[in-house]
Amino acid sequence: MRNPILRGFNPDPSILRVGDDYFIATSTFEFHPAVRIHHSTDLVNWTVRGHALDEDFDLRGIPDSGGVWAPSLSHSDGRFWLAYSIVRSMDGDDKDIDNYLVTAESIDGPWSEPVHLGSRGFDFSFFHDPDGTHWIVGVQWDQRPEHPSFSGLVLEQYLPDEKRASGTATVIHQEPSLVEGPNLYRVGDWYHLLIAAGGTGWNHAITVARSRDRLGPYERDPKPFVLTSRDAPGLPLQKAGHGELVQTRSGEWMLVHLASRPTLHLGERYSTLGRETCLQHVEFGEDGWLRLAQGGHHAALEVEVAGESAGRADASGFADSFDAPQLDNRRWSTLRTALDHDTADLTVRPGWLRLRGGHSPASVFEQSMIVTRVEEHRATFEARFDAEPTSTRELAGLIAWYDRNGWIWLQLGWDADNGRHIRVVSRDGARTTRSAPVAAPDGPVRLRADLDGPDLRFAVAAVGDAHWTDVPGTHPAWTLSDDHGDRLRFTGLFFGVRADDLDGRGWSADIADISLRFARDAAPAGAD
């Protein structure tokens, strides 16, 4: 089994085994549909099963890197339980958060109406005690500027018959530094509290505390970390932390966790692919503490799982000819809400997606864009566009997207001086730059983006012409990462296609023959 098992933006994994089936839920933040569900029968080969929060789920108005944080997937009383947080604002010391629970008899739904679990903090997970009680463990947030924001990990009983939390939470663990992402397990006579420490950046880690009593006191592991890469900046898997445990069919313990594979630019590391999901073999040692099976505290790239592995079939990308009646949301995501039929029409011109233009890339409401995760540092993304803008406010093209303040767009547009043309428009923080225009071929055009580690290049060709013309310039893909700038950023790099109609007159672009191809690296992209 080769890590990451879920490549590209798939953070905060929550793992579960039910019979012979393994499921992982990952965070989706402002992207729709929400809470991605992955499935495997061998822990090696994973597919996207679907999403738990789909259809009418609406996050319009949510800030970048807000939205759905750290889902927790569990199974009890014959049902799947999914807890999740919606972060609605995160300005300064304040965080407006709502926590919810939905349940379903099948992992494919239908999921129940959400039960509100309060707004005390985030990273909530469920612990189903063998004694039949149900408990919520999570982070307690303190907005007072003179107090630590992370004011402890709390435990609160959930009352399923009344569909509510008890309202009384007990602080079961505190540390002088930041801790989050708690998960509670009962193994033998001990309650083990798995903790994410150090923030989700380069100092990320997993630690453990344990107690013989559910409410504590909890004894901290004498070793500082079960898992971290903070002391080894050259490891291919960085930012290792935020994990959960699962027991395999053969009784082994596995630790799922997030990590990042950085690319290098001028010697600095940038996690353009976002935080990805990895799996490690762990065991409880003679002293009862959780340890990596291979020893030490560094994540391994390759892991053996006895009785589970069936060999890996590596995916090299995908192609979409838009011959289905609706978008495949296992592959495509949108921002904050679903695109309705009138905005993304697959029927009016078979084999094409007609994308009616929407708001600008700055909008937190109605953007007309579909995006897909970039899974490797070297990738090629292509699409065919049939669009005739007649105003400077009608625009279409393919885009490398991180968030509203980080994107690089190969844009098909029009103006009176240049007619129909192509240029590269970029957003980096508060700064927007536009390249010189390049004349667009007549009729439909093919557009291409080539990602090479920290660098991004573009090309254009007429339909039917085998020759590609490079669009001048090399563009900084490394800015499309968690690690660029001083903003809180928690997602990852996407490729996508979009159309803007800033006058709202109903202008649209037709898009066809999208393909995305990946090439895997033996070493981190950009390394010498």
**Furthest C-alpha separation in the chain:** 77
Q: What is the number of H-type helices and E-type strands within the chain? A: 0, 40
Cα distance between residue 383 and residue 198, in whole Å: 41
Cα distance between residue 88 and residue 143, in whole Å: 15
Cα distance between residue 145 and residue 358, in whole Å: 39
Structure tokens of 295? 């020893």
What are the residues facing 328 on neighbouring strands? none
Instruction: Report yes or no: 227 and 206 within 8 Å, Cβ to Cβ.
Output: yes
Residues 6 or more apart in contact with residue 252 via CB below 8 angstroms: 281, 283, 305, 306
180 is known as an active-site residue: yes
Active-site position among 30, 64, 180, 500: 180
Cα distance between residue 254 and residue 43, in whole Å: 10
What does the DSSP 8-state code read for residue 435?
P
Q: Please, what sign has the CA dihedral across residues 401, 407, 408, 410?
A: positive
Structure tokens of 108? 């494919």
Cα distance between residue 504 and residue 498, in whole Å: 15
Cβ neighbours of 40 (radius 10 Å): 21
Cα distance between residue 254 and residue 42, in whole Å: 12
Structure tokens of 165? 């939390």
Cβ neighbours of 164 (radius 10 Å): 14
Cα distance between residue 525 and residue 46, in whole Å: 24
| 3-state secondary structure string across 10-75 | CCCCEEEEECCEEEEEECCECEECEEEEEEECCCCCCEEEEEEECCCCCCCCCCCCCEEEEEEEEE
What are the residues facing 16 on neighbouring strands? 23
500 is known as an active-site residue: no
Catalytic center residues: 12, 180
